[in-house]
Amino acid sequence: MEHKRKMRRKLSSESDEDTSSSEPTNKKSKKAAVPEDYMDIVEQDPNSLLVPGNNNTGSSRESSGSRRSQGSSSSLTLLYEPDVPSEFNRCGKVISIHLENFMCHESFTVEFGPNTNFLVGKNGSGKSATITALTVGMGGNARATSRAASVTKLIKNGETSAKIEITLCNVGLSPFDAEHMGPHITVVRHIRQSSSSYELKDARGKIVSKKLDDVKRLLRRFRIHVDNPIFVLNQEASREFLKKLEPKSNYTLLMKATQLDSCVNALNECLAQRQSLHRALEHLELRKQVSEQLVVAEEEKLAALRDKEAVKVKLQEANTKLAWLSVRQQEEELASCEQSIKLIEAKKSKLEAATAQKDSTQATLTQQLSTFEEKKKRNQDVYHSHETKMREAMRILQEYLLKASNIRSQMKNAEKRLSEEKHEYDACEKHISNYHADYARIKQKREEHAARAVELKKLVANREDLVKQFREEQLETKERLSSVREQVDARGFERNKMYQSTQIIKSEIATLGRNKNNILSIYGEQAINVVCALRSNYSGPNQYRMPRGPLGQYITASNPKYRDLVENQLSSCLRSYIVSSDKERQSLRSLLQRFYGNNMPTIITSAFTDRVYNVSKYKVKANTPNTTVLIDEISCDDPVVMNYLIDSMRIETVLVTESKETAEFLTSDTENVPPYLTRVLVPNLGLEYIPSPNYAVYSVRIYPGRYMQVNVDDRIRQLQDEQRSLQERAASIEADYKMQKHILERTTQEVAKKTSEINQYLAEVQKATQEIIEIENTEYRDLPEYDRLKTHLSDCGERIEKCKEEHRELQVKLEEIDTLKTEYEAKKSDELNALEEITRQVQRLDTEAHEVSNQIRTLDSEFSQNNRNLQKMVELVQNQQKVRQDILNELEKATKAAKLTGEFIKTTNTEEELLDLISRYKSKIRQVEQLNYDPEEVETSLGVLRDKLGEDANRFKLSENVIMHLRQAYHANSLNFQRSRHHYLTMVQHNFRCALKLRHFEVTFEDNLKAKTWSINVFPASGNKTSNTKSLSGGERSFTTVSLLKGLWTTSDHPFYFLDEYDVFTDEVNRKFITELLIKEGRDWRTRQYCFLTPLDTEVEESPYIRILKLSSPDEGDSNRHSLS
């Protein structure tokens, strides 16, 4: 069952608006959307789908069954030799494609390798026709290829029909009727002006079927989905895919790539079917209710006919019950009224008692309040007495603490002095014991060192004076030398610059003079020669492919006042050239080297198109006065040059204004920045503004134009004036240069001589200074006099004894103070406890007095309220007495009336129910009396209605069970769908991230499944964070796209993957890296077939797993009749 469910989900309503043989689809229900014979095909042996040479279904099955039975008893023997290569080991791989009169091809065959293929060909060579034929030949929609609105538009001009033959491998795990079809199968589609048809051929080329359904079964068998963009990505879809990766399109691509969109469609159909059945169930329920009501009515009719007198008795009983029910209601009202009177009387008594006790209670409370005030006054007097005693104890205690701190400080000082005196005493004893041994030796050594130091210091002072004098002279000479050298360098630089400028101007004047009638002369004679060579190389039909350049000749300014601004903005590319391919680039490079040498202009590679891009969607709007868009001020007749300016310079996003205030308004605040704005130029002030959030202002210098819209004669006169001025300046600079150079040579010799003398004196000073430092750093032991040491030793002993005596006296004083301090601390603690107890008593008295005051105020307010309530109670008692009397009168009347109807009958019905019964009984009696029913007819009608009711009940129960099972299945499949979507999304994100890490890219994802969006934020290794591929470079954008495709390829297996123009926006480095990435993908998945189409030459070498297929250019021979293998 699970296999059947998957097969149903994968089945889609395949239709082609261009194909006359397509069948209509039925969308009434999920089950109805499946062809009747589909489940039979799934459950049968797949080898029994087709039998060669037999179109009858019944005979096909019999023949297939007999052949299988034969094959089970003997080995299989084919009547032909398989010609499929041994490397094709999976069903569905494309072996070859043959085209006749299709698009630009008259007769074209391409044979693919089993693993990785590169189909290389220039624009117009028919590469994309191959991928279009693959889609259309397998039942795809021509509109989906973006090449034509219908398949008839794909027929070659001048022809009436076309043919597509696609040969697929039939060797692998799930072959399609391999016993009869052989190792490969050919799908043929004939396209005519009025219709199209399909054929299936076996390996011998024999036609076995002409039905589209058989082709679809083959594709389902091989799991081929040409309408899935990740399996077959054509040129237009590839370009659009590379340009933007928007959240909604990302989510749609993910659903399409993982084939979860078919699951969503199936779930939606299931939900619609359940809702339809639910509405039918509600209708059945209404029918059942109507049937039940009719049965009840017929039963009542029959009962009325059978027992008319019984209805009359029931009517009498109902009247009696109604009369006694009225009596019971009156009695209940009387009891309720009496209960209310009792409650009111009790409340009245309580209010009277409370009013009488008011005066006595108020007197008692007032007496209590006076007693509390007297107690509070006595406690306050006692509190003040204890507070005075506590403050006195705290004052005395603070004095003792201060005295104790002073004594401890004196004790520490005494201990410190005692330690110092003991240390000095010990040192003095040691000096006395070693005094006589060292004195003579130290004295002699000190005298020798002092004499040598005096001699060396005199030498150092003499040499330092000489060095100082020479250095001053050297410094003066060096200052003169630096000044002279700067002047010489400046004059030399000016002389060389003047000479070069003069030669350049001479050359330009000569070039302009020789080529006055050629507008290219302002770019130099090299540009004229290059353009002439290009025109001769690209004459005839190749003229469109001729490189464009210099670009300045194609560009003019619409408004003359913006000519200098436009030239300054485009100055980097005015002398450049544009080519369409790497081959053209190499050819142009060699040509430029021949005429320009190493100073070549820039060569740009860009796709050639025949019309200018439509940038209206991404063009910034000029909504303010005196403001224009830069692209509107540029006129260019060549779409290739204009498209390059749009791609590289982004001229459609630059505003030009004459007002500084307007520029600041449009860029300083993010809210005011128009969409797609990148810069604002103010040419009259020379300013350039960058919009918020990266707001900045730059100064821009605008130079006079040299290339755009320049007159040759005016340019020659301008250059001649510059030449004369330069010659006059060069003569004066040459004389000054020679004089300064002679001064420089003399000054350099003087500096060298002074430097030699200073170095000699400094060496002598350094040597003497080192010796002086060694002498001064020599340490000598200081030996005091012997008698002084003895006296000092005696003094130290006396000071030690005094310190000890002082420490003992301070210790005694400290002990006395500690005793007194302990006594006063105890006294302070007693007084604090007494104060806390008095404070608690006062607070308790205040609380009780407050409560009594509140009771007095409450008593007054309650007294007035009780008086008002008492008056109300009296009035209520009088009113209730009147109501009671009225109820008694009504009760007496109701009792008399009930006795007239009969004896008391107990009932549980309400008055409304009894009235309804009486009405129904009277109605039945009238109906029976007025109508003459036949009891037999009524019984027959009742039987029919009961049968109908049973049928409706059974149908209702059955529908309810179906809806319940459908609801359970829907919820289970929804949960499976959500799990699958999460699994596929996680798998794609993981593989996408792994692919980006190959170039140290980072990526984050934000998915909103409710809004059906999947945002991708790419962070290149350069550190530029972006969530929009428009901000990425061409190479980064292509690498990101290929990485995303690799992630999507891991979620869905397919026999082949065709990718067109994957490297359209890449440079050489990125293109090489992406190509290696795709080749590695092919090596990792040997069971898949990859084909990558590119207009650029590839350096990939062929191998057992890589095949290079090159298409010739449209102008190289007969490109409509060729084959590739």
Span 488-502, pLDDT tens digits = 888 888 888 888 888
- The answer to whether position 293 is within a domain reads yes
Q: What is the pLDDT of residue 474?
A: 79
The region of weakest confidence among 141-145, 341-345, 358-362, 719-723 is 358-362
pTM (predicted TM-score)? 0.41
| Residue 657: pLDDT over 60 | yes
Element (H, E) at 636: strand 634-636
Shared domain for 950 and 925, answered yes or no, is: no
Domain that holds residue 288: 269-305+935-979
Please give the Cα distance from 899 to 149 (Å, whole number): 97
Shared domain for 573 and 640, answered yes or no, is: yes
Most confident of the following: 730-739, 742-751, 920-929, 977-986: 977-986
List phi, psi (to 5°) of 599: -90, 65
- The answer to whether position 161 is within a domain reads no
- The answer to whether position 532 is within a domain reads no
| Residue 978: pLDDT over 50 | yes
Cα dihedral 69→74→80→86 (10° resolution): 100
Q: How many domains does the chain have?
A: 3
Shared domain for 697 and 660, answered yes or no, is: yes
Burial 570-580 (b: 16+ CB within 10 A, else e): beebbbbbbbb
- The answer to whether position 640 is within a domain reads yes
Shared domain for 960 and 920, answered yes or no, is: no
- The answer to whether position 581 is within a domain reads yes
Q: What is the pLDDT of residue 1027?
A: 47
Element (H, E) at 739: helix 712-776
Domain ends where: 706, 724, 749? Answer: 706
Binned at pLDDT 50, 70 and 90, residue 338 comes out as confident
| Residue 61: pLDDT over 70 | no
| Residue 876: pLDDT over 80 | yes
- The answer to whether position 580 is within a domain reads yes
| Residue 1119: pLDDT over 50 | no
Average pLDDT over residues 1029-1040: 72
Average pLDDT over residues 406-411: 84
Shared domain for 339 and 279, answered yes or no, is: no
Contact at 8 Å (CB) between 732 and 739?
no
Q: Provide long-range contacts, Cβ within 8 A and 24+ apart, for 270-276.
A: 270/30, 270/966, 270/969, 270/970, 270/973, 271/970, 273/29, 273/30, 273/966, 274/963, 274/966, 274/967, 274/970
- The answer to whether position 653 is within a domain reads yes
Shared domain for 283 and 315, answered yes or no, is: no
Residue 57 CA: distances (Å) to CA of 22, 214, 256: 20, 12, 35
Shared domain for 561 and 607, answered yes or no, is: yes
Neighbours of 531 (CB within 10 A): 19
Contact at 8 Å (CB) between 92 and 1106?
no
| Residue 146: pLDDT over 50 | yes
| Residue 434: pLDDT over 70 | no
List phi, psi (to 5°) of 665: -65, -40
Domain ends where: 956, 979, 1002? Answer: 979
Percent of the chain with pLDDT over 90: 8
Percent of the chain with pLDDT over 70: 85
Contact at 8 Å (CB) between 45 and 179?
no
- The answer to whether position 880 is within a domain reads no
Please indicate whether residue 1119 or residue 159 has the higher confidence score (pLDDT): 159
Q: What is the pLDDT of residue 91?
A: 92
Shared domain for 275 and 332, answered yes or no, is: no
Average pLDDT over residues 331-355: 79
**DSSP secondary structure letter of residue 1102:** P
Domain ends where: 895, 915, 930? Answer: 930
Shared domain for 337 and 273, answered yes or no, is: no
Average pLDDT over residues 677-702: 89
Please give the Cα distance from 1021 to 1036 (Å, whole number): 10
Q: What is the pLDDT of residue 960?
A: 85
Shared domain for 631 and 686, answered yes or no, is: yes
Residue 733 CA: distances (Å) to CA of 505, 671, 739, 745, 967: 19, 58, 10, 19, 100
Q: Which residue, 345, 340, 355, is CA-closest to 873?
A: 345
Helix (H, G, I), strand (E, B) or coil at 191: strand
Residues pairing with 161 in the sheet: 192
Please indicate whether residue 66 or residue 900 has the higher confidence score (pLDDT): 900
Shared domain for 669 and 699, answered yes or no, is: yes
Residue-wise pLDDT tens digits, 691-715: 988 889 888 888 777 777 777 777 7
Residue 336, CB-side half-sphere exposure with 13 Å CA sphere: 8
